[in-house]
Amino acid sequence: MRYTPRMKAESNLGGLLGKSSRLLANVFNNDLVKHNLTIAQWTLLALLWDKDNQSQKELQEELLKNKATITSLITYLIKNGFITKSKDELDRRSYIVSLTNKGREMQRVTIPIAIQNIGIATKEITQSDLETTNKVLSQIINNLTQEHS
């Protein structure tokens, strides 16, 4: 079955994804600002929580951001003591980005906030519906990634 988009933003997939994403981002940003972070900065930290000591290029590819944006995020996070950047010993043209203790501490502080916000966003939605939603969104991401790679 083929998806046929409706013209009203609030009744088509793109409009609904965009609005729900913006609403969740606004709520989370309001919480993160208390910790001197934005969602974009927090997302970069989250990648490092999962796998520390990544190259700037790896972070850029994972976040789907351009080099200038990643450089700006890294500069802010270094300035505020969340991460460090050092030359890659194997490739002197590349930089490795690593968490500081302060950056690691933000995981303990902010993950509960993220979980609480997801809980608010998903209240009254069944586990089955959430699993289906995650599956569908993952497939959309795969489709778009393959289409534009």
Domain of 42: which CATH number? 1.10.10.10
The residues, any chain, with a CB within 8 Å of residue 54's CB and separated by 6 or more, are 47, 48, 62, 96, 97
The residues, any chain, with a CB within 8 Å of residue 40's CB and separated by 6 or more, are 63, 65, 69, 73
Range of the domain at 117: 21-147
Contact (CB, 8 A) for 45 and 77:
yes
Q: Could you give the number of structural domains in the chain? A: 1
- From CA 10, how far away is CA 12, in angstroms rounded? 6
Is 135 inside a domain boundary? yes
- For the stretch 78-94, pLDDT in tens is 999 999 999 988 888 88
Is 68 inside a domain boundary? yes
Q: How far apart are the first and last CA of the chain?
A: 25
pLDDT score, position 139:
93
- From CA 114, how far away is CA 29, in angstroms rounded? 10
pLDDT score, position 146:
85
pLDDT score, position 141:
87
Amino acid at 148: H
pLDDT score, position 113:
97
Contact (CB, 8 A) for 97 and 54:
yes
Q: Which residues pair with 87 in a beta bridge?
A: 95
Is 10 inside a domain boundary? no
Which segments in the chain show pLDDT lower than 50? none
Is 49 inside a domain boundary? yes
pLDDT score, position 91:
84
Separation in Å, CA 18 to CA 3, 13, 122, 140: 17, 8, 16, 14
Is 4 inside a domain boundary? no
Is 82 inside a domain boundary? yes
pLDDT score, position 3:
60
Is 42 inside a domain boundary? yes
Is 59 inside a domain boundary? yes
